[in-house]
């Protein structure tokens, strides 16, 4: 592509962004992305758009659709970080005492209470994974699932456990 054509295409970018600004606002509001993170998502989106612009047939549709996807991925990543920190907390709790006895007992009681409110399948999986330190194939065999399905089930169980903990401890204040 000639430099003149690239310049012509780049000239239309401010107008395109001005037209799409309300749509971008609706998308990030719908997904409840915090403003500072929404700005980062839009900036990353624009960088990606500029690198792929020559391949994009309908910029408006591509930008809106890609921003929706980026918002979905944003929340998946945040939830994954929360699950991983919960996973780490569970492992730390099981490895031994580090905090004072009272704090450890409080954490253990809160964790037990949250686990009791989970469905049987989740309680069994968590007991096997963390209580008995079983690996994925062994958990799959004991629960009657395929090994590939256990990872997804474990993720759902950790999500349910996280939701139980957050519901019983609103002071943690982590949304979505």
Provide the residue ranges of all domains of the chain, joining segments of one domain with +: 3-77, 97-172
Neighbours of 15 (CB within 10 A): 9
Q: Render each residue's pLDDT in the chain as its tens digit; 176 residues.
A: 444 444 444 558 889 989 999 999 999 999 999 999 999 999 999 999 999 999 999 999 999 999 999 999 998 888 777 777 776 666 666 655 555 667 767 777 777 788 888 888 888 888 888 778 788 888 888 888 888 888 888 888 888 888 887 777 655 544 44
Report the SS3 class of residue 99: coil
Q: Which of 85, 73, 81 minimizes the C-alpha distance to 40?
A: 73
Q: Which residues contact 20 (CB under 8 A, 6 or more apart)?
A: 60, 63, 64
Out of 3.40.50, 3.30.10, 1.10.10, 1.20.120, select the CATH number for domain 97-172: 1.10.10
Does the global pTM surpass 0.85? no
């Amino acid at each position: 592509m000639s430099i003149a054509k690239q310049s012509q295409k780049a000239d239309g970018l401010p107008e395109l962004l001005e037209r799409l600004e309300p749509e971008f606002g609706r998308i990030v509001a719908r997904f409840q992305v915090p403003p500072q993170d929404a700005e980062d998502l839009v900036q990353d989106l624009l960088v990606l758009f500029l690198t792929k612009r020559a391949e994009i047939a309908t910029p408006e549709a591509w930008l809106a659709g890609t921003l929706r996807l980026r918002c979905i991925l944003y929340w998946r990543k945040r939830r994954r970080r929360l699950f991983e920190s919960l996973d780490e907390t569970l492992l730390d709790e099981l490895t031994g005492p580090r905090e004072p006895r009272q704090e450890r007992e409080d954490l253990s009681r809160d964790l037990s209470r949250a686990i009791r409110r989970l469905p049987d399948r989740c309680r069994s999986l968590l007991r096997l994974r963390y209580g008995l330190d079983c690996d994925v194939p062994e958990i799959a065999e004991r629960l009657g699932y395929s090994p590939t399905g256990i990872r997804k089930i474990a993720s759902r169980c950790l999500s349910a456990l996280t939701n139980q903990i957050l519901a019983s401890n609103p002071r943690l204040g982590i949304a979505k």
